Structure 1
Amino acid sequence: LNLDDKKGFDGRTLLLLTGWTDYAFSSDNLAASQSGKSLFLPKLQVKNKRGEWQTIIDSIGISVGRPQTLVVDLTGKFLSDSREVRIVTNFKTFWDKIAVGTSKQTEVKTTELKPAQANLRERGFSEEIKHGEMIAANYDKVLNDGRWKYFSGAFTKLGAVNRLLEAVDDVFVISKTGDELTLSFDALPELPANRKYTFLLFADGYSKEMDINSGSPDAVFPLPFKQMKKYPYAANEQFPMSEEKRRIYDEYTTRTVKGFLPRI
């Protein structure tokens, strides 16, 4: 990308990248590893004073699963008068729109909202709609034709699950394929005409796939946890189960599901 019209401009410069990433699954990663290859996240490079490309950001992140916009702050990061930038990765990424923002930062007030209600229910699967290589979900059409496999094991019981979502604490809502977690929040006061709300959803958790080359792909357990070095974790690591966590899991993890696949 050549941001030549910004040459000499040293003010606030944001790169706005809208697209989506078709990320690899475990079998893809295994095949790449056996071929001596490995994935690396998108890194951003600019030209230095010798005219060479130099990495200034090791990872700008990825837009996973659906079109999203990544914001990359380039303020003060250019290494020469050049305003050429490039993104280097071997992830399969589709960029739909790239823009540059130079507006000044306005005053921002952050308010954290806890869900007034959080409920887990069985819903089914949204119809898939293909847009070229991208697959989107049609939420208005639900399919219950058993098209997805599911793990054997203990899952969170249906109903209110607010207690499990209060903090990042290795206490999880364990949902199976076809489940839906619905959240509702108390209404916020009306803003003056020159202000507006922007809503960001913070979610912290793990997704587990049933690829045959994934870790324990036939069962829910073992549970992941924040400090684990890898998954499945080694024998010298264990889930940090306290008496309070055990009591909560015993109360909520009561929905037993038996998968239709034999154990691996």
Structure 2
Amino acid sequence: MPKIKNLDREFYDNFKSLNIRGYAAPHNLTLNLDDKKGYNGRTLLLLTGWTDYAFSSDNLAASQSGKSLFLPKLQVKNKKGEWQTVIESIGISIGRPQTLVVDLTGEFLSNSREVRIVTNFKTYWDKIEVSTSEQKDVKTIEMQPVQADLRERGFSEEMKYGEMITTNYDRVLNDKRWKYFSGTFTRLGAVNQLLEAIDDVFVISKTGDELVLSFEALPELPKNKKYTFLLFADGYSKEMDINSGSPDQVFPLPFKRMKKYPYAADEQFPMTEEKRRIYDEYTTRPVRDVLPSIELGVK
């Protein structure tokens, strides 16, 4: 398939879009890995693409018409030649292009090396590769940022490639193109303390903010070695869709053990004296976004 051979923003999109954002008719993408037939070692599927996902109002409209999304599942052929699901969810690449790594090692149920991805998400694949390389002499180095600064920046210029919207970081727009949540946000400046652990203590950033991280320089490697960098980030984003939970304000804050958001009356944010002290110190930037009133007149 030419469209999934190169990373060129020519996307495989052989599915029928429905009239609800993020929804497509159920479809599948079949890959023939026959050149790996007889090989039972480490096999990774590398899927690079992006997903045009639904917002709260889209999901509400879908539910009212009896529709629902199901995450991409991976199937292989069993000894009867029938497709059988072996991975219930391979995940989705939200928004901008991302690479999903799917471990196929030990998942094949027969000599067939055909695999099939089945979903009704609108996922656009750009490049798909297979890796059978063995991990040898891999050293993992975990680094904490030496400096983490929260800044007001503005908005990167939007660029469009077909259905995909991406951004040009080098061009900043300072117009007020997005609404703000009303509430109190993290003050600008150093925020290292808020990023040290997964502990329900958040940097609360508003639309147009950026978080700038600095790390210590790593030593130069021999010519036969190279670094691969992975950024680990854990947090939440909140949308202002009218059918989302509390879409007009920052609070309530999410937390790891919540059953849903907004959480019910029998759940509470796990506030402690130490967390309260930190939030009182850092959460001091009030934002009030006053929207113009809409006057409706009948003639």
- TM-score in terms of structure 2 length: 0.86
CA distance in 2, matches of 1:196, 1:77: 30
Residue from 201, 219, 225 that aligns with 2:231:
201
State the identity %.
84
Query: Cα offset for 1:226?
Result: 0.2
Tell me what 1:97 maps to. Answer: 127
Residue from 97, 114, 120 that aligns with 2:150:
120
CA distance in 2, matches of 1:235, 1:190: 54
Maintained 8 Å contact 1:120/1:182 = yes
CA distance in 2, matches of 1:259, 1:219: 10
SS of match in other structure, 2:240 = coil
Maintained 8 Å contact 1:19/1:95 = yes
1:136 aligns with 2:166: yes
Maintained 8 Å contact 1:218/1:261 = no
Residue from 58, 67, 79 that aligns with 1:28:
58
1:227 aligns with 2:257: yes
Aligned residue pairs: how many? 263
Residues 188-245 of structure 1 deviation map (CA, whole Å, 9 limit, x = unaligned)? 1111222111110000000000000000000000000000000000000000000000
Residue from 266, 281, 298 that aligns with 1:251:
281
CA distance in 2, matches of 1:111, 1:5: 35
Residue from 175, 178, 184 that aligns with 2:208:
178
Q: CA RMSD in A?
A: 1.2
CA distance in 2, matches of 1:8, 1:234: 53
CA distance in 1, matches of 2:234, 2:124: 25
Residues 11-32 of structure 1 deviation map (CA, whole Å, 9 limit, x = unaligned)? 2211111111111111111111
Return the letter of the residue paired with 1:243: E
Query: Cα offset for 1:73?
Result: 1.0
1:52 aligns with 2:85: no
Maintained 8 Å contact 1:32/1:38 = yes
Residues 163-197 of structure 1 deviation map (CA, whole Å, 9 limit, x = unaligned)? 10000000000000000110000111111222111
**Alignment CA distance shift 1:173-1:262 (3 Å):** farther
CA distance in 1, matches of 2:253, 2:58: 24
Query: Cα offset for 1:87?
Result: 0.5
1:15 aligns with 2:45: yes
Tell me what 1:39 maps to. Answer: 69
CA distance in 1, matches of 2:113, 2:250: 49
Residues 113-158 of structure 1 deviation map (CA, whole Å, 9 limit, x = unaligned)? 1111000111000000001111110011111111101100000000
Taking the TM superposition and a 5 Å limit, the aligned residue runs for 1:65-84 are 65-84=95-114
Residue from 155, 165, 168 that aligns with 2:198:
168
Query: Cα offset for 1:262?
Result: 8.3
Tell me what 1:215 maps to. Answer: 245
SS of match in other structure, 1:182 = strand
CA distance in 2, matches of 1:157, 1:191: 39
Structure 1 window deviating more from structure 2 (245-254 vs 57-66): it is 57-66
CA distance in 1, matches of 2:40, 2:217: 41
Structure 1 window deviating more from structure 2 (14-23 vs 223-232): it is 14-23
Return the letter of the residue paired with 2:179: K
Residues 22-79 of structure 1 deviation map (CA, whole Å, 9 limit, x = unaligned)? 1111111111111222111111000111111111011111111211111111111100
Return the letter of the residue paired with 1:190: E
